[in-house]
Chain A
Protein backbone atom coordinates (compact mmCIF):
# COMPACT_ATOMS: atom_id res chain seq x y z
CA UNK A 1 0.00 0.00 0.00
CA UNK A 2 1.23 3.47 -0.88
CA UNK A 3 1.96 5.92 1.88
CA UNK A 4 -0.85 8.46 2.29
CA UNK A 5 0.09 11.91 1.05
CA UNK A 6 -0.06 14.90 3.38
CA UNK A 7 -3.27 16.46 2.10
CA UNK A 8 -5.58 18.18 4.55
CA UNK A 9 -8.37 15.53 4.51
CA UNK A 10 -5.79 12.74 4.89
CA UNK A 11 -4.08 14.43 7.84
CA UNK A 12 -7.41 15.28 9.44
CA UNK A 13 -8.80 11.80 9.08
CA UNK A 14 -5.72 9.90 10.17
CA UNK A 15 -5.19 12.02 13.28
CA UNK A 16 -8.87 11.85 14.15
CA UNK A 17 -9.01 8.07 13.79
CA UNK A 18 -5.79 7.65 15.81
CA UNK A 19 -7.18 9.78 18.62
CA UNK A 20 -10.60 8.14 18.54
CA UNK A 21 -9.14 4.62 18.72
CA UNK A 22 -6.79 5.72 21.47
CA UNK A 23 -9.68 7.28 23.39
CA UNK A 24 -11.72 4.10 23.13
CA UNK A 25 -8.80 1.98 24.35
CA UNK A 26 -8.17 4.33 27.28
CA UNK A 27 -11.83 4.45 28.26
CA UNK A 28 -12.05 0.66 28.07
CA UNK A 29 -8.89 0.16 30.12
CA UNK A 30 -10.14 2.66 32.69
CA UNK A 31 -13.54 1.00 32.99
CA UNK A 32 -11.96 -2.42 33.27
CA UNK A 33 -9.37 -1.47 35.89
CA UNK A 34 -11.26 1.10 38.01
CA UNK A 35 -12.86 -1.60 40.18
CA UNK A 36 -9.70 -3.63 40.85
CA UNK A 37 -7.69 -0.43 41.52
CA UNK A 38 -10.22 0.74 44.13
CA UNK A 39 -10.20 -2.74 45.68
CA UNK A 40 -6.43 -2.95 45.88
CA UNK A 41 -6.26 0.55 47.39
CA UNK A 42 -8.84 -0.39 50.02
CA UNK A 43 -6.95 -3.62 50.75
CA UNK A 44 -3.69 -1.68 51.16
CA UNK A 45 -5.39 0.77 53.55
CA UNK A 46 -6.95 -2.07 55.51
CA UNK A 47 -3.60 -3.79 55.82
CA UNK A 48 -1.96 -0.56 56.96
CA UNK A 49 -4.67 -0.12 59.60
CA UNK A 50 -4.31 -3.65 60.93
CA UNK A 51 -0.52 -3.21 61.00
CA UNK A 52 -0.69 -0.17 63.26
CA UNK A 53 -3.51 -1.08 65.65
CA UNK A 54 -4.04 -3.89 68.19
CA UNK A 55 -6.33 -6.81 67.24
CA UNK A 56 -9.82 -5.64 66.45
CA UNK A 57 -13.06 -7.28 65.38
CA UNK A 58 -14.97 -4.40 63.82
CA UNK A 59 -14.55 -2.84 60.40
CA UNK A 60 -12.60 0.39 60.99
CA UNK A 61 -13.21 1.54 57.42
CA UNK A 62 -16.97 1.65 58.00
CA UNK A 63 -16.72 3.54 61.26
CA UNK A 64 -14.18 6.11 60.17
CA UNK A 65 -14.78 9.66 61.34
CA UNK A 66 -12.98 12.98 61.12
CA UNK A 67 -10.93 14.41 63.95
CA UNK A 68 -9.92 18.04 64.19
CA UNK A 69 -6.26 18.84 64.90
CA UNK A 70 -5.11 21.68 67.13
CA UNK A 71 -4.32 23.73 64.02
CA UNK A 72 -7.86 23.36 62.73
CA UNK A 73 -7.22 20.70 60.12
CA UNK A 74 -9.33 17.59 59.81
CA UNK A 75 -7.89 14.08 59.61
CA UNK A 76 -9.52 10.72 59.04
CA UNK A 77 -9.55 8.42 62.07
CA UNK A 78 -10.27 4.68 61.94
CA UNK A 79 -11.34 3.31 65.33
CA UNK A 80 -10.37 -0.27 66.20
CA UNK A 81 -12.87 -1.97 68.54
CA UNK A 82 -12.73 -5.32 70.25
CA UNK A 83 -15.93 -6.63 71.86
CA UNK A 84 -17.30 -3.12 71.58
CA UNK A 85 -14.37 -1.60 73.50
CA UNK A 86 -12.07 0.91 71.89
CA UNK A 87 -8.59 -0.66 71.80
CA UNK A 88 -6.89 1.80 69.52
CA UNK A 89 -7.18 4.04 66.50
CA UNK A 90 -5.39 4.43 63.21
CA UNK A 91 -5.06 8.04 62.10
CA UNK A 92 -4.54 8.92 58.47
CA UNK A 93 -2.18 11.87 58.84
CA UNK A 94 -0.03 13.97 56.58
CA UNK A 95 2.34 16.91 56.69
CA UNK A 96 3.32 19.50 54.15
CA UNK A 97 6.64 20.24 55.86
CA UNK A 98 8.55 17.48 54.05
CA UNK A 99 11.74 18.12 52.12
CA UNK A 100 9.91 17.52 48.85
CA UNK A 101 6.16 17.48 48.91
CA UNK A 102 3.61 15.86 51.14
CA UNK A 103 4.35 12.95 53.46
CA UNK A 104 1.36 10.72 54.16
CA UNK A 105 1.53 8.32 57.07
CA UNK A 106 -0.89 6.24 59.06
CA UNK A 107 -0.29 6.20 62.81
CA UNK A 108 -1.73 3.79 65.33
CA UNK A 109 -2.36 4.71 68.98
CA UNK A 110 -3.80 2.55 71.72
CA UNK A 111 -6.65 3.85 73.85
CA UNK A 112 -4.20 5.60 76.23
CA UNK A 113 -2.46 7.48 73.43
CA UNK A 114 0.69 5.35 73.25
CA UNK A 115 2.08 5.07 69.75
CA UNK A 116 1.81 1.45 68.60
CA UNK A 117 3.14 1.58 65.08
CA UNK A 118 3.16 3.66 61.93
CA UNK A 119 3.27 3.11 58.19
CA UNK A 120 4.47 5.51 55.53
CA UNK A 121 1.87 5.59 52.76
CA UNK A 122 3.33 8.12 50.39
CA UNK A 123 6.34 10.41 50.26
CA UNK A 124 8.77 11.97 47.81
CA UNK A 125 11.76 12.45 50.12
CA UNK A 126 15.34 12.05 48.92
CA UNK A 127 16.14 8.36 48.31
CA UNK A 128 18.75 7.12 50.76
CA UNK A 129 18.21 10.07 53.11
CA UNK A 130 14.69 11.11 54.04
CA UNK A 131 13.25 7.91 52.60
CA UNK A 132 14.82 6.06 55.53
CA UNK A 133 11.97 7.23 57.77
CA UNK A 134 10.10 4.04 56.94
CA UNK A 135 12.63 2.07 59.00
CA UNK A 136 14.46 4.66 61.08
CA UNK A 137 11.72 5.58 63.52
CA UNK A 138 10.98 1.96 64.41
CA UNK A 139 14.61 0.85 64.82
CA UNK A 140 15.39 0.32 68.47
CA UNK A 141 18.69 2.18 68.66
CA UNK A 142 19.61 5.12 70.87
CA UNK A 143 16.56 7.39 70.81
CA UNK A 144 15.51 6.69 67.24
CA UNK A 145 12.35 4.71 67.81
CA UNK A 146 9.00 6.41 68.33
CA UNK A 147 7.20 3.10 68.91
CA UNK A 148 5.80 2.80 72.42
CA UNK A 149 6.14 6.47 73.19
CA UNK A 150 3.23 8.24 74.78
CA UNK A 151 2.24 11.62 73.42
CA UNK A 152 0.12 12.40 76.46
CA UNK A 153 3.06 14.35 77.94
CA UNK A 154 3.45 16.60 74.94
CA UNK A 155 4.48 16.60 71.30
CA UNK A 156 7.44 14.66 69.97
CA UNK A 157 10.41 16.68 68.72
CA UNK A 158 13.87 15.92 67.37
CA UNK A 159 16.76 16.31 69.80
CA UNK A 160 18.01 19.33 67.86
CA UNK A 161 14.79 21.13 68.78
CA UNK A 162 15.01 20.13 72.42
CA UNK A 163 13.02 16.92 72.05
CA UNK A 164 14.11 13.36 72.70
CA UNK A 165 13.85 11.71 69.28
CA UNK A 166 17.03 11.22 67.24
CA UNK A 167 16.60 12.68 63.76
CA UNK A 168 17.61 10.73 60.65
CA UNK A 169 21.28 11.48 59.90
CA UNK A 170 21.45 14.38 57.43
CA UNK A 171 17.64 14.55 57.18
CA UNK A 172 16.51 16.80 59.99
CA UNK A 173 13.83 18.42 57.83
CA UNK A 174 12.24 15.09 56.97
CA UNK A 175 12.46 14.00 60.59
CA UNK A 176 10.76 17.17 61.79
CA UNK A 177 8.05 16.74 59.17
CA UNK A 178 7.53 13.12 60.13
CA UNK A 179 7.13 13.98 63.81
CA UNK A 180 4.83 16.83 62.83
CA UNK A 181 2.57 14.32 61.07
CA UNK A 182 2.56 12.13 64.19
CA UNK A 183 1.81 15.07 66.48
CA UNK A 184 -1.04 16.13 64.22
CA UNK A 185 -2.42 12.60 64.22
CA UNK A 186 -2.38 12.57 68.01
CA UNK A 187 -4.01 15.94 68.29
CA UNK A 188 -6.77 14.87 65.88
CA UNK A 189 -7.31 11.70 67.86
CA UNK A 190 -7.42 13.45 71.25
CA UNK A 191 -9.50 16.29 69.90
CA UNK A 192 -12.49 14.05 69.29
CA UNK A 193 -12.30 10.82 71.21
CA UNK A 194 -13.18 9.88 74.75
CA UNK A 195 -11.48 11.90 77.44
CA UNK A 196 -9.40 9.29 79.21
CA UNK A 197 -9.21 11.03 82.59
CA UNK A 198 -12.87 11.70 83.27
CA UNK A 199 -14.48 9.06 81.13
CA UNK A 200 -16.74 11.73 79.68
CA UNK A 201 -17.15 11.50 75.97
CA UNK A 202 -17.24 14.12 73.30
CA UNK A 203 -18.66 14.08 69.79
CA UNK A 204 -18.40 10.54 68.44
CA UNK A 205 -17.19 9.06 71.73
CA UNK A 206 -20.65 7.79 72.69
CA UNK A 207 -20.58 4.86 70.36
CA UNK A 208 -17.62 3.29 72.16
CA UNK A 209 -19.08 3.26 75.63
Chain B
Protein backbone atom coordinates (compact mmCIF):
# COMPACT_ATOMS: atom_id res chain seq x y z
CA UNK B 1 0.00 0.00 0.00
CA UNK B 2 1.58 3.31 -0.97
CA UNK B 3 1.37 6.49 1.06
CA UNK B 4 -1.29 8.23 -1.03
CA UNK B 5 -3.52 5.21 -0.68
CA UNK B 6 -3.01 5.27 3.10
CA UNK B 7 -3.91 8.96 3.13
CA UNK B 8 -7.11 8.50 1.12
CA UNK B 9 -8.00 5.45 3.16
CA UNK B 10 -8.27 7.61 6.27
CA UNK B 11 -10.32 10.30 4.54
CA UNK B 12 -12.80 8.14 2.63
CA UNK B 13 -12.81 4.40 3.12
CA UNK B 14 -12.12 4.43 6.85
CA UNK B 15 -13.37 7.88 7.75
CA UNK B 16 -13.20 7.92 11.57
CA UNK B 17 -16.63 9.51 11.99
CA UNK B 18 -18.77 8.38 9.08
CA UNK B 19 -17.46 4.82 8.77
CA UNK B 20 -15.68 3.80 11.97
CA UNK B 21 -17.94 5.87 14.29
CA UNK B 22 -15.02 6.66 16.59
CA UNK B 23 -14.58 9.74 18.75
CA UNK B 24 -18.27 10.56 19.07
CA UNK B 25 -17.84 12.67 22.20
CA UNK B 26 -15.78 15.53 20.70
CA UNK B 27 -17.74 15.12 17.46
CA UNK B 28 -21.11 15.80 19.03
CA UNK B 29 -19.80 18.24 21.62
CA UNK B 30 -17.75 20.63 19.53
CA UNK B 31 -19.66 20.90 16.26
CA UNK B 32 -22.17 23.57 17.23
CA UNK B 33 -20.71 25.68 14.41
CA UNK B 34 -18.61 24.95 11.33
CA UNK B 35 -15.62 26.94 12.54
CA UNK B 36 -15.55 25.13 15.88
CA UNK B 37 -15.69 21.77 14.11
CA UNK B 38 -12.89 22.71 11.77
CA UNK B 39 -10.70 24.02 14.61
CA UNK B 40 -11.13 20.86 16.61
CA UNK B 41 -10.45 18.77 13.50
CA UNK B 42 -7.23 20.57 12.61
CA UNK B 43 -5.89 20.46 16.17
CA UNK B 44 -6.60 16.72 16.25
CA UNK B 45 -4.94 16.24 12.86
CA UNK B 46 -1.73 17.82 14.13
CA UNK B 47 -1.70 15.64 17.26
CA UNK B 48 -2.61 12.49 15.29
CA UNK B 49 0.24 12.93 12.84
CA UNK B 50 2.86 13.69 15.50
CA UNK B 51 1.86 10.91 17.88
CA UNK B 52 1.57 8.37 15.06
CA UNK B 53 5.13 9.09 13.95
CA UNK B 54 6.60 9.09 17.46
CA UNK B 55 4.80 5.91 18.47
CA UNK B 56 5.87 4.21 15.28
CA UNK B 57 9.49 5.19 15.95
CA UNK B 58 9.34 3.91 19.53
CA UNK B 59 7.25 0.79 18.91
CA UNK B 60 10.10 -1.65 19.42
CA UNK B 61 11.13 -0.06 22.72
CA UNK B 62 7.70 -0.46 24.26
CA UNK B 63 6.82 -3.97 25.46
CA UNK B 64 3.41 -5.19 24.31
CA UNK B 65 1.89 -5.55 27.77
CA UNK B 66 2.36 -1.87 28.68
CA UNK B 67 1.83 -0.29 25.26
CA UNK B 68 -1.54 1.34 26.05
CA UNK B 69 -0.33 3.36 29.07
CA UNK B 70 2.82 4.29 27.20
CA UNK B 71 0.79 5.48 24.18
CA UNK B 72 -1.52 7.54 26.37
CA UNK B 73 1.44 9.24 28.06
CA UNK B 74 2.99 10.03 24.67
CA UNK B 75 -0.28 11.48 23.36
CA UNK B 76 -0.76 13.61 26.48
CA UNK B 77 2.82 14.85 26.17
CA UNK B 78 1.96 16.26 22.76
CA UNK B 79 -1.40 17.74 23.68
CA UNK B 80 -0.51 19.56 26.90
CA UNK B 81 2.48 21.56 25.59
CA UNK B 82 0.45 22.29 22.43
CA UNK B 83 -2.22 23.83 24.62
CA UNK B 84 0.37 25.81 26.60
CA UNK B 85 2.00 27.16 23.46
CA UNK B 86 -1.30 28.18 21.89
CA UNK B 87 -2.35 29.90 25.13
CA UNK B 88 0.98 31.74 25.36
CA UNK B 89 1.55 32.85 21.79
CA UNK B 90 -1.84 32.73 20.03
CA UNK B 91 -4.28 33.95 22.72
CA UNK B 92 -7.02 34.74 20.19
CA UNK B 93 -6.94 31.20 18.80
CA UNK B 94 -6.95 29.91 22.36
CA UNK B 95 -10.14 31.86 23.05
CA UNK B 96 -12.04 29.88 20.44
CA UNK B 97 -10.21 26.53 20.66
CA UNK B 98 -8.94 26.35 24.24
CA UNK B 99 -11.82 24.31 25.48
CA UNK B 100 -11.33 21.50 22.97
CA UNK B 101 -7.61 20.94 23.09
CA UNK B 102 -7.50 18.87 26.31
CA UNK B 103 -10.31 16.76 24.84
CA UNK B 104 -7.91 15.45 22.18
CA UNK B 105 -6.09 13.31 24.76
CA UNK B 106 -9.19 11.24 25.38
CA UNK B 107 -10.13 11.08 21.71
CA UNK B 108 -10.16 7.39 20.88
CA UNK B 109 -9.24 8.02 17.24
CA UNK B 110 -5.73 9.03 18.33
CA UNK B 111 -5.27 5.95 20.47
CA UNK B 112 -7.05 3.83 17.85
CA UNK B 113 -4.70 4.83 15.02
CA UNK B 114 -1.67 4.36 17.30
CA UNK B 115 -2.85 0.86 18.18
CA UNK B 116 -4.14 -0.21 14.76
CA UNK B 117 -1.54 1.34 12.49
CA UNK B 118 1.46 3.08 14.05
CA UNK B 119 2.31 0.12 16.27
CA UNK B 120 2.77 -2.09 13.20
CA UNK B 121 4.10 0.17 10.44
CA UNK B 122 7.06 2.44 9.72
CA UNK B 123 7.40 6.12 10.57
CA UNK B 124 6.52 7.62 7.16
CA UNK B 125 3.40 5.52 6.46
CA UNK B 126 2.28 6.17 10.05
CA UNK B 127 2.60 9.90 9.47
CA UNK B 128 0.44 9.63 6.36
CA UNK B 129 -2.08 7.48 8.20
CA UNK B 130 -2.34 10.09 10.96
CA UNK B 131 -2.71 12.86 8.40
CA UNK B 132 -5.39 10.92 6.53
CA UNK B 133 -7.42 10.02 9.60
CA UNK B 134 -7.04 13.60 10.85
CA UNK B 135 -8.23 15.13 7.60
CA UNK B 136 -11.14 12.68 7.48
CA UNK B 137 -12.04 13.72 11.02
CA UNK B 138 -11.73 17.42 10.11
CA UNK B 139 -13.90 16.94 7.01
CA UNK B 140 -16.60 15.14 8.98
CA UNK B 141 -16.59 17.68 11.80
CA UNK B 142 -16.72 20.65 9.44
CA UNK B 143 -19.59 19.07 7.49
CA UNK B 144 -21.52 18.27 10.66
CA UNK B 145 -20.77 21.71 12.12
CA UNK B 146 -21.93 23.44 8.94
CA UNK B 147 -25.14 21.39 8.84
CA UNK B 148 -25.95 22.15 12.46
CA UNK B 149 -25.07 25.82 12.13
CA UNK B 150 -27.22 26.19 9.00
CA UNK B 151 -30.24 24.37 10.42
CA UNK B 152 -29.85 25.90 13.85
CA UNK B 153 -28.99 29.54 13.20
CA UNK B 154 -29.18 29.98 9.43
CA UNK B 155 -25.47 30.66 9.02
CA UNK B 156 -22.42 28.82 7.72
CA UNK B 157 -19.01 30.01 8.96
CA UNK B 158 -20.91 33.00 10.37
CA UNK B 159 -22.14 33.97 6.89
CA UNK B 160 -25.88 34.48 6.92
CA UNK B 161 -27.65 32.10 4.52
CA UNK B 162 -31.19 32.48 5.75
CA UNK B 163 -32.95 34.53 8.44
CA UNK B 164 -32.18 33.32 11.94
CA UNK B 165 -35.89 32.98 12.71
CA UNK B 166 -36.07 29.95 10.38
CA UNK B 167 -33.38 28.17 12.37
CA UNK B 168 -34.46 25.35 14.65
CA UNK B 169 -32.77 25.57 18.02
CA UNK B 170 -32.60 21.84 18.53
CA UNK B 171 -29.76 21.58 16.02
CA UNK B 172 -27.52 23.80 18.12
CA UNK B 173 -28.13 21.58 21.15
CA UNK B 174 -26.96 18.01 21.70
CA UNK B 175 -30.09 16.17 20.41
CA UNK B 176 -29.76 17.96 17.07
CA UNK B 177 -26.18 16.75 16.87
CA UNK B 178 -27.33 13.14 17.02
CA UNK B 179 -30.07 13.72 14.45
CA UNK B 180 -27.81 15.58 12.03
CA UNK B 181 -25.04 12.98 12.41
CA UNK B 182 -27.47 10.14 11.74
CA UNK B 183 -28.73 11.66 8.51
CA UNK B 184 -25.21 12.57 7.38
CA UNK B 185 -24.02 8.98 7.93
CA UNK B 186 -27.01 7.66 5.99
CA UNK B 187 -26.25 10.06 3.15
CA UNK B 188 -22.54 9.19 3.07
CA UNK B 189 -23.32 5.45 3.10
CA UNK B 190 -25.69 5.90 0.17
CA UNK B 191 -23.06 7.84 -1.79
CA UNK B 192 -20.35 5.29 -0.97
CA UNK B 193 -22.42 2.38 -2.23
CA UNK B 194 -23.08 3.98 -5.62
Measured between beta carbons, the chain A residues less than 8 angstroms from B81 are 25-26, 29, 33
Q: Please tell me which one of the listed residues A1, A15, A22, A36 contacts residue B60 in the complex, with CB atoms under 8 A apart.
A: A1
Q: Please tell me which one of the listed residues B62, B88, B152 contacts residue A14 in the complex, with CB atoms under 8 A apart.
A: B62
Known contacts A26-B80, A128-B169, A14 near B60 by CB under 8 Å: no
Dominant secondary structure at the B interface: helix
Known contacts A26-B80, A128-B152, A129-B172, A18 near B62 by CB under 8 Å: yes
Residue of B63, B66, B70, B152 with most chain A CB atoms under a 10 A cut-off: B63
Known contacts A44-B91, A127-B33, A30 near B63 by CB under 8 Å: no
Measured between beta carbons, the chain A residues less than 8 angstroms from B88 are 33, 36-37, 40
Indicate with 1 or 0, residue by residue over A2-30, a CB within 8 angstroms of chain B CB atoms: 11111100110011001101100110011
Which range contains the number of B residues in contact with the other chain?
A: 20 to 34
The reply to whether A2 and B73 form a contact with Cβ atoms under 8 Å apart is: no
The reply to whether A4 and B63 form a contact with Cβ atoms under 8 Å apart is: yes
The reply to whether B60 and A4 form a contact with Cβ atoms under 8 Å apart is: yes
Measured between beta carbons, the chain B residues less than 8 angstroms from A25 are 77, 81
Instruction: Say whether A126 faces chain B, with CB atoms less than 8 Å apart.
Output: yes
Dominant secondary structure at the A interface: helix
The reply to whether A11 and B66 form a contact with Cβ atoms under 8 Å apart is: yes
Q: Please tell me which one of the listed residues B59, B64, B73, B89 contacts residue A19 in the complex, with CB atoms under 8 A apart.
A: B73
Known contacts A18-B73, A22-B74, A6 near B63 by CB under 8 Å: yes
Instruction: Say whether B156 faces chain A, with CB atoms less than 8 Å apart.
Output: no
The reply to whether A11 and B65 form a contact with Cβ atoms under 8 Å apart is: yes
Measured between beta carbons, the chain A residues less than 8 angstroms from B27 are none
Measured between beta carbons, the chain A residues less than 8 angstroms from B73 are 15, 18-19, 22
Known contacts A126-B172, A127-B32, A4 near B152 by CB under 8 Å: no
Measured between beta carbons, the chain B residues less than 8 angstroms from A22 are 73-74, 76-77
A51 to B: closest C-beta gap in Å: 15
Binding site for B on A (CB under 8 A): 1-7, 10-11, 14-15, 18-19, 21-22, 25-26, 29-30, 33, 36-37, 40, 43-44, 126-129, 170
Please name the 6 residue pairs, one residue from A and one from B, whose CB atoms are nearest each other, closest first: A29-B81, A36-B88, A128-B172, A6-B65, A33-B88, A22-B77
Binding site for A on B (CB under 8 A): 32-33, 59-66, 69-70, 73-74, 76-77, 80-81, 84-85, 87-89, 91, 152-153, 169, 172-173
